[in-house]
Amino acid sequence: MSEAATAAAPRATIGDSEFDRDTALTRRAPGVYDIDLSAGWTIINAVNGGYLLAVLGRALADALPHQDPFTISAHYLTASQPGPAVVRTDVVRTGRTLSTGTASLLQYDEQGNEVERIRVLASYGDLGALPDDVRTTATPPAIPPMEQCFGPEDGPAPVDGSSAIADRLMLKLDPATLGWALGQPSGKGEMRAWFGLKDGRDPDPLSLLLAVDALPPTAFEIGLRGWVPTVELTVHVRSRPAPGPLRVSITTRNLAGGFLEEDAEVWDSAGRLVAQSRQLARARLA
């Protein structure tokens, strides 16, 4: 999309965007929600783990007395498919400043048996109630200006196969972490990008759950190929993000025994570190 096209397109707003429509749940009973998982957030044939976490996070925001995920851990059990799914939530504890709950995403197999896809444990609070004090020593990722970064629309598709999610994301990768797409991975476990939703919806705590798991796997820059399925993903949302594009930096330092970690930092347009995450993923060692 050219800059002119971006400027001309009507910007979607929080609450009225593809992301909001595709994470919307219908409450069937207290703690039981129905959703039709959209095929619009798939990578190759897999439903993106960050999109799924946002779905579960939204169910918990409804089920708990607090609105914002402060820390949310997801264990990915089986591969989710686009289509009907059920989310069940359970309140563990409600406190004054934090509430804790669990959520499960379930689908049905061909015999009609319930299959659990994801189990989540999370503590929610009110980001708006936090003091303004910031003593963060971390610095924003060293990423060139957006116009010097590259997205799928800037060249041949870097990933084989169709990825519907690419149509919904504004993802501009740092050229320094794009070697894998040219067959020359840097060997470093780093991936950096500008991130947004393509329809222009500004970020909020729920879309941060998507942002931490939306970049190509760092494993590609290490020189590995193939799928890097997430075993567990924990996200700390630390601040309500300012409007505008996010900068996402992902680092892997410990690739061993067929597993690796991916540490993500998400920085907002105001230069605030708004989310930190870590996931444990399986690596296919070549």
Q: Which is nearer to a copy of itself, 14 or 280 (CB)?
A: 280
Cβ neighbours, 10 Å, residue 191: 26
CB of 187 to a copy of itself, least distance (A): 9
CB of 169 to a copy of itself, least distance (A): 25
Q: Which is nearer to a copy of itself, 207 or 252 (CB)?
A: 252
CB of 117 to a copy of itself, least distance (A): 10
Three-state SS letters, 221-279: HHCCCCCCCEEEEEEEECCCCCCCCEEEEEECCCEECCEEEEEEEEECCCCCEEEEEEE
The residues, any chain, with a CB within 8 Å of residue 17's CB and separated by 6 or more, are 197, 199, 200, 201
Q: Which is nearer to a copy of itself, 27 or 272 (CB)?
A: 272
The residues, any chain, with a CB within 8 Å of residue 81's CB and separated by 6 or more, are 37, 47, 107
Distance CA 99, CA 101 (A): 7
Element (H, E) at 56: helix 49-63
CB of 22 to a copy of itself, least distance (A): 26
Binding site for a copy of itself (CB under 8 A): 70-71, 73, 75, 77-78, 92-93, 95, 98, 100, 102, 116, 119-123, 127, 130-138, 188-189, 222, 231-232, 234, 236, 238-239, 252-259, 261, 272-273, 276, 278, 280, 285
Q: Which is nearer to a copy of itself, 72 or 206 (CB)?
A: 72
CB of 199 to a copy of itself, least distance (A): 29
